[in-house]
Structure formats: C-alpha cells, structure tokens
Amino acid sequence: MLLQLKEVFLNDGHRLDVDYSLPMNDFEINGDYPFKSPVRVKASAVNRAGLVELKVNAVFDYTTRCDRCFDEIVKHLEFTFAHGLAVELIDDENDEYIETPDYTLELDKVVISDIILNLPSKILCREDCKGLCPKCGKNLNYGDCECYKKQIDSRLEILKQLIDE
C-alpha cells in the first residue's frame, strides 16, 4: 500500500489512518510458507510539532513447526512498531528515520521487514516441550521411549563398574 503523506508532513497535527489486509501467503521462510492468512495491518502517521511518526500494528497467525518436536503449530502473533519519517535524510547512517521521498511511503515493505526482523528465533509448541528422542526419534511429549533407559554413555561405563561393586 502506497501512503501519500504530503498532507501529514505539511500540516501540524494532521493524521492519516489506514486499516487493511496484507497477503503474505507467497512469502517463504526456511522452505515453508508460514503465512496462511493475510496480515491485518493498522497504521497511523501523525505530525506532531513538525515530526511525523508512523505507528503500525500487525496481527497474524504464523504456521510453523516446533523447534523441539517438529509438530505443526499455529501461533497468533501481534507486533507494534514505530518509526520516524523524514522527507530527506541528510546522513545515510541515520537508521532512526525512514526516508519518504516525494511524501510517499511503500507501507507493505516496512511492515514485511518489521515482521521478519521481529519473528522469534525459536518457536515451541509449549514451554515444557520435551522434543524428540535423539536415538529413535519418538516425540517425547506423547510418552517416554525405551532408549534412555537402556543407553549408557561408553565414557561412563567405568563408573558403573564402581557402583556395581
């Protein structure tokens, strides 16, 4: 969505609100397409004393696999972002503001990059997820396997001999 921000930049106290759905179903992350439904975006650009601030709220369902047990899960996520807007940046190294040449801003690009940068690096189906057995691959959330009961680290075998004596 292309935002026309000329009125906001030129009028102190002026506000522009948008509310729309952003389809991201063709966006791939790690070989998967986790955005099954559109992202709900609410944004507002407000001029306060000559400074324009963009506030964005993004709500979506994120379909992925648990990082421990690999079960498919759907997480409902909500992110809120704020950015300062400037028509022209004097310093290229200034990352506090987004440049809006010609008083326009491609909001979709901002929303997508904010979402991707803020996705959790590790997603679990639940806090106490037990994961998979490293030997047989059984999901330990559904019950124990026999692997750990029989398995003894060969480096610790000598200690077992001491206990048995």
Q: What stretches of 66-107 adopt beta strand conformation (E)?
A: 72-86, 97-99, 104-106
Q: How far is CA 70 from CA 27, 53, 56, 135, 146, in A?
A: 21, 40, 32, 15, 20
Tens of pLDDT, residues 37-90: 999 999 999 988 778 899 999 999 999 999 999 999 999 999 999 998 887 777
Task: Write down the mean pLDDT value for the chain.
Answer: 86
CB distance 69 to 130 below 8 Å: yes
pTM: predicted TM-score of the whole model, two decimal places: 0.75
> What length does the chain have?
165
Tens of pLDDT, residues 87-123: 777 766 666 788 888 888 899 999 999 999 999 888 9
Query: Which residue's structure tokens are 């040449």?
Result: 101
Tens of pLDDT, residues 139-153: 999 988 877 565 667
